[in-house]
């Protein structure tokens, strides 16, 4: 991650969001042409009113974010955070509804990612603000996910709990502060301020807090299947001063190797499944190199856009026994335009070739992410309207970036809803010492407020 300046953080204390580099997971290779800044008129009174109202909610936003971070919402524990979101929505004056995860419906849908865990008691929360369609504006989804990845190893966090929600020198610390409870706090702060001004969008705005973004994207898919669709969506992921318009797809898979177990003293009659797994890893690294050899634009701006991650490995249970089974779990990325069946076929061919001379079996299994890449044109109405709101707030255009990560923007895109990511500035997402810079959360909310005014329209 980038170093933090000594004068108060990556923003330099009070510097605007426009002066900050985008997320290190993204690369700025494109931009929108605008008129020279000196030709832009000053902010309209209504815009200033919106900016000031959102700024006045800064303490509420910070307190909400701390409470969200203090809730451990790792896989299977999301409800603690959803209760915080539900209470905040009711405080704003909205009426949230539950969208329960439905395993049968999801498994029947072609865009759902496979899963082998229980989802029966998990809910997404959606609150609709504004009237029905047909009032002159464009409808909108503001989306954030409540789930976070594991903070392990806990010993690396030192004296600060990974779920502390501590505030220090303008930052909020803890797992999920960056990815992406900061985005949820910005969304809710925006709506609270606009609602408090007595403003109502001319088309419905669906505020979503979803589960399972970190492993499947099925939470967002479930809300769409429940009928909460719109003319556009903004996912408030923390990419800093950037609008993310292209992202890779992601495939999770496991390789199960069955060897021949036996006593370590008789190794010549055994097949070590762990060692065979190392051959498979090496072969998959060759596939990774092939995928990085000639990346399409804009991913050619990255030195290594496709990453194979060996995320977990389990095998053996005794030092003097040759392990007869090993299961290795992987994540690999794919470019927009690549098809999941094609990538699966290549993986299976690589595994088969790497294990063809061994006794025992090798099996490729799928579970978790199975999503293709997504991109949206730089001049799409959603992108231009959000970028222009950024200019109105910050006085300079945002970066338009591609990312080597994935997000629920891809779920919306694959369901026919234009979507982008835009959110606060944060550091160490998924890492030790995760944190978000609080002024950027407020500034994100201010940009979203101006964007809603242009995209949806606002009425007294």
In this structure, the answer to whether residues 173 and 255 fall within a common structural domain is no
8 located within any domain: no
Where would I find the H helices in 94-197? 103-107, 182-196
Sign for the pseudo-dihedral over CA of 374, 378, 380, 383: positive
11 located within any domain: no
In this structure, the answer to whether residues 354 and 381 fall within a common structural domain is no
177 DSSP 8-state letter? I
117 located within any domain: yes
Active site residue 213: yes
What tokens does 211 get?
């589960």
In this structure, the answer to whether residues 326 and 188 fall within a common structural domain is no
12 located within any domain: no
Question: Cβ–Cβ contacts within 10 Å for residue 311, how many?
Answer: 12
Last residue of a domain, one of 323, 340, 371: 371
10 located within any domain: no
Which residue among 57, 78, 213, 388 is the active-site one? 213
Domains contained in the chain, number: 2
Sign for the pseudo-dihedral over CA of 313, 406, 429, 401: positive
| Distinct helix (H) and strand (E) counts, the chain | 11, 22
In this structure, the answer to whether residues 357 and 421 fall within a common structural domain is no
In this structure, the answer to whether residues 99 and 165 fall within a common structural domain is yes
In this structure, the answer to whether residues 124 and 104 fall within a common structural domain is yes
342 located within any domain: yes
Gap between the Cα atoms of 354 and 352, Å rounded: 6
Q: Are 325 and 259 in contact (CB under 8 A)?
A: yes
Gap between the Cα atoms of 310 and 332, Å rounded: 9
Last residue of a domain, one of 371, 391, 418: 371
CATH number at residue 96: 3.40.630.10
In this structure, the answer to whether residues 94 and 224 fall within a common structural domain is yes
pLDDT of 40 reads 52
CATH number at residue 288: 3.30.70.360
What tokens does 286 get?
């060759």
pLDDT of 267 reads 72
Which residue among 57, 147, 231, 434 is the active-site one? 147
In this structure, the answer to whether residues 346 and 417 fall within a common structural domain is no
Phi, psi for residue 310 in degrees, rounded to 5 = -90, 100
Nearest to 254 by CA among 213, 316, 301, 313: 313
pTM over the 0.85 mark: yes
Tell me: the pLDDT tens digits for 58-67?
999 999 999 9
Nearest to 83 by CA among 93, 75, 72: 72
pLDDT of 43 reads 66
46 located within any domain: yes
In this structure, the answer to whether residues 243 and 264 fall within a common structural domain is no
Specify the 3-state DSSP secondary structure of 38. Answer: helix
In this structure, the answer to whether residues 154 and 254 fall within a common structural domain is no
In this structure, the answer to whether residues 177 and 325 fall within a common structural domain is no
What tokens does 23 get?
């997320």
Cα dist from 135 to 91, 139, 204, 229, whole Å? 26, 10, 9, 16
**What's the average pLDDT block by block, 10 residues per block, for the chain (460 residues)?**
24 37 44 43 81 98 98 97 98 97 97 95 96 81 98 92 95 97 98 97 97 98 98 96 95 96 87 94 98 96 96 96 96 98 98 90 96 96 96 91 96 98 95 96 97 95
pLDDT of 27 reads 40
Q: Domain containing 242: what range?
A: 17-247+374-459
pLDDT of 266 reads 83
pLDDT of 269 reads 85
Last residue of a domain, one of 319, 351, 371: 371
In this structure, the answer to whether residues 308 and 455 fall within a common structural domain is no
Active site residue 300: no
289 located within any domain: yes
């Amino acid at each position: 991650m980038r170093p933090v300046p000594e004068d108060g953080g990556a923003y330099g204390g009070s510097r605007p969001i426009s002066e900050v580099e985008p997320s290190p997971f993204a690369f700025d290779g494109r931009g929108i042409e605008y008129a020279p800044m000196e030709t832009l008129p000053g902010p309209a009174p209504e815009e200033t009113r919106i900016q000031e109202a959102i700024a006045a909610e800064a303490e509420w936003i910070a307190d909400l974010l701390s409470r969200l971070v203090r809730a451990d919402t790792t896989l299977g524990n999301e409800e603690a955070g959803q209760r915080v979101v539900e209470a905040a929505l009711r405080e704003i004056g909205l009426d949230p509804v539950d969208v329960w995860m439905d395993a049968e419906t999801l498994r029947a849908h072609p865009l759902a990612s496979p899963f082998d865990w229980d989802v029966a008691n998990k809910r997404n929360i959606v609150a609709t603000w504004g009237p029905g369609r047909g009032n002159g504006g464009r409808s909108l989804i503001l989306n954030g996910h409540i789930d976070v990845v594991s903070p392990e190893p806990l010993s690396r966090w030192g004296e600060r709990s990974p779920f502390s929600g501590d505030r220090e020198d303008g930052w909020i610390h803890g797992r999920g502060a960056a990815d992406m409870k900061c985005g949820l706090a910005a969304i809710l702060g925006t709506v609270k301020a606009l609602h408090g001004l007595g403003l109502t969008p001319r088309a419905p705005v669906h505020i979503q807090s979803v589960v399972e973004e970190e492993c499947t994207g099925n939470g967002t898919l479930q809300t769409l299947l429940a009928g909460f669709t719109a003319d556009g969506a903004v996912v408030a992921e923390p990419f800093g001063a950037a609008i993310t318009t292209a992202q890779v797809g992601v495939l999770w898979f496991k390789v199960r190797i069955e060897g021949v177990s036996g006593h370590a003293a008789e190794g010549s009659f055994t097949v070590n499944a762990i060692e065979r797994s190392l051959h498979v890893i090496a072969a998959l690294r060759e596939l990774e190199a092939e995928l990085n050899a000639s990346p399409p634009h804009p991913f050619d701006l990255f030195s290594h856009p496709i990453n194979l991650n060996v995320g977990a490995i389990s095998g053996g249970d005794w030092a003097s026994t040759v392990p007869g089974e090993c299961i290795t779990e992987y994540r690999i990325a794919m470019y927009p335009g690549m098809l999941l069946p094609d990538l699966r076929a290549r993986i299976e061919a690589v595994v088969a070739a790497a294990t063809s001379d061994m006794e025992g079996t090798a099996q490729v299994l799928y579970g978790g992410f199975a999503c293709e890449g997504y991109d949206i044109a730089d001049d799409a109405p959603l992108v231009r309207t959000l970028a222009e709101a950024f200019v109105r707030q910050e006085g300079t255009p945002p970066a338009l970036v591609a990312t080597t990560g994935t997000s629920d923007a891809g779920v919306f895109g694959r369901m026919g809803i234009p979507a982008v990511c835009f959110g606060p500035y944060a550091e160490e997402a998924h890492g030790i010492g995760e944190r978000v810079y609080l002024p950027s959360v407020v500034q994100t909310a201010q940009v979203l407020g101006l964007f809603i005014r242009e995209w949806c329209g606002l009425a007294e």
